[in-house]
Amino acid sequence: MSRLSAAIDDSGSEGAGSRARCGVAVCASIAIVYALWLLLAWPRGDFPLNDDWAYAWSVRHLLETGELRISQWVSAAAIVPAYWGALFSQLAGGFSFTALRVSTLVFSLMSPVALFWLLRRVGISRSAALLGMLALLVNPLFVHLSYTFMTDVFYLGLMVVGLALYVGGIERDSARSLWAASIASALAFLCRQLGLALPLAAVVVLVARRRREAVGPALRAGLIPALVFVVYTLWLNGFHGVTWAFQLNVVQNGLAKLLHASTPVEMWGRVLYTLLYLGIFTLPALVAMVASGQLDGQRMRRLVWPFTAWFLLLIGVSAYGYVTRGSGMPYLDGIIDRDGLGALTLQGRKPLVTPAWVFDLVTFVAPLAGAAQATLWMEWLRNARREILSSSAVVPLSALVMVALTLPMVELWDEYLLVFIPASLYLALREARLSPRSLVTGALVCVVMLTYVLREQADYLAWNTARWEMGRRLVGDGVAPIEIGGGFEWVGWYDFEKALPLSIAAGHGDNLFDWFSVLPDRYFMAFEPLGVERGRNTVLGVVRYSTRFGPGGEIYVLEVVKP
């Protein structure tokens, strides 16, 4: 590791040889981590995961008709992923979820490369930038979402590219970089509407730095995203139609939430939970920074009291979580759960892969790491007038805009926090002076995180493979797919287009999940033989699943006994 640190350290020459060694180190790190991903969690499997059945529907429709349509279940723009997925499907010889999963994995390569580039652009040393890149590569949200066809990874990659281009364009007054950044931001918007935060942040920084001379650069930074926003809005409202999920989640329920009396308290609670998560997600960087032993003493004395206050506050949040939930982290719903990684959409209790004490340890560490993150953000905000004159201000400023857009969402899913990791890593590493020892320490934390996520991801793919194998056996025996309750993904893929109009016609269009139970199931799948002992269901079959890490468990197919 000391040789690796020397190869990427900034103390040496900035010549071609030094940059080449750094490039080799970055590429080798990415190649090794991705090889472990694929070796231990192979992405094959023609079935949807989580919400990606809705995004896959757009690809299938595009391939079959040549017309772009967004599923009524989708709130995101999701246009770039649709065409990217269609390209990979064509290359694979036709539509398949495996092709779509591979397309996301390929696209996900953009994020670590762009993050390293961004961190270098904002003045972070090579060794620290490498550690920041590794922290993303082992992040459970990033790894898991890279195996799905959801929009998160597509947006993240384009977002980080856009930020790196904006930083360079502002710092060097490069018109070419600003135009390129605006294109990347527009493409990010066509993944998720959060992309508007990037040009907005860039324009604010340009105005703060250049004032009256900012008109030209600001136009270059924001014109293309603005035009794309206008065209997209006209297309959505005038031709395609606003999707049911967007209307319900963003317009109807989102506005109602903002006007609710309890909203300020709930938003503050979400901020605190977010800090706990971001503390854990940036733990390799935070640990390395402490292990370096090179923290500025005067700065530490200035930050000790804010850190103490945040730490006590987050300890209180953790205690409240224990009282209300009966356990510690995770506190947000979504991907990371004590019972397993990914959406656990079958009934019953799945066998645990990660022991409960691991999450208890994370719960103990999170207030410390979260307090460090909170202190870093507070320090940046306190010095915002000075900070905003730096080109690197685009990074935290865009994150703050995205926070303002994300926190009022009807439900704060943990995957929404992925977009805040680059800015949080920037704040943790921007003054880091990593020694070989501290780099090793941070890398060891990365190894621990990667071990957790690959064990869980392998298990997630294994039980999903077993679930769909069993479901297709039933279909092969003559059972209609709509008669099978195969979990959220199964019902979404086979039932949603028929069930949603029935739910709306019945007056339940304001219930996000009513469509799920509109079409009755004769059969369903579960992790346990539920209701058998009481005579409500009978077991038709069972399939075992396992991984290289352990014995796995079983998926049961149960028939509902008619009364």
Is residue 557 within a helix (H) or strand (E), and if so which, with residue range? strand 550-560
Can the peptide bond before residue 520 be classed as cis, meaning omega within 30 degrees of 0?
no
Rg for the chain (alpha carbons), in Å? 24
Model confidence at 403, in pLDDT bands (50, 70, 90)? Answer: very high
Characterize the bridge pairing of strands 340-341 and 336-337: antiparallel
Residue 11, pLDDT above cutoff 50? no
Of 157-166, 323-332, 357-366, give the lowest mean pLDDT range.
323-332
Give the per-residue pLDDT at 410: 79
Listed in sequence order, the residues at least 6 apart from 107 whose beta carbon sits closer than 8 Å to its beta carbon are 84, 153, 154, 157
pLDDT of residue 491: 95
What's residue 325's pLDDT? 81
pLDDT computed for residue 258 by the predictor: 63
Q: What is the pLDDT of residues 257-309, one digit of tens each?
A: 666 655 688 889 899 999 999 999 999 999 998 888 766 667 777 888 999 99
Q: SS3 for 14?
A: coil
The pLDDT, as a whole number, for residue 414 is 95
pLDDT score of 302: 81
Look-up: residue for tokens 């139609």? 241
Cβ proximity of 195 and 186 under 8 Å: yes
pLDDT class of 214 with cuts at 50, 70, 90: confident
- What confidence tens digit (pLDDT) does each residue in 41-70 have? 999 899 999 999 999 999 999 999 999 999
Percentage of the chain modeled with pLDDT above 90: 77
In this predicted structure, what is the pLDDT of residue 233? Answer: 96
pLDDT of residue 324: 83
Model pTM? 0.94
Q: Whole-angstrom Cα distance, residue 555 to residue 539?
A: 11
What is the mean predicted confidence (pLDDT) over 172-187?
A: 96
| pLDDT of res. 212 | 84
Per-residue model confidence (pLDDT) at position 450: 97
**For residues 63, 69, 75 and 80, what is the CA-based torsion angle, rounded to 10 degrees?**
50
Q: To which residue do tokens 């294109």 refer? A: 183
What average pLDDT score do residues 308-320 get?
93
For helices 110-121 and 97-108, angle between their N-to-C axes, nearest 10 degrees:
20
Per-residue model confidence as pLDDT tens digits over 215-231: 999 999 999 999 999 99
Can you tell me the mean pLDDT for 502-525?
91
Whole-number pLDDT of residue 535: 80
The two tokens of residue 451 are: 């071990």
Query: Residue 432: what pLDDT?
Result: 78
Q: What is the mean pLDDT of the chain?
A: 91
Average pLDDT over residues 400-412: 89
The per-residue pLDDT for 548 is 86
Both tokens of 73, joined, read 């279940």
Distance (Å, whole) CA 106 – CA 100? 10
Give which of 83, 72, 32 is closest to 443, Cα–Cα.
32
* Cα–Cα distances in angstroms (integers) from residue 48 to residues 98, 327, 491, in the given order: 9, 30, 11
Decide if pLDDT at 81 tops 80: yes
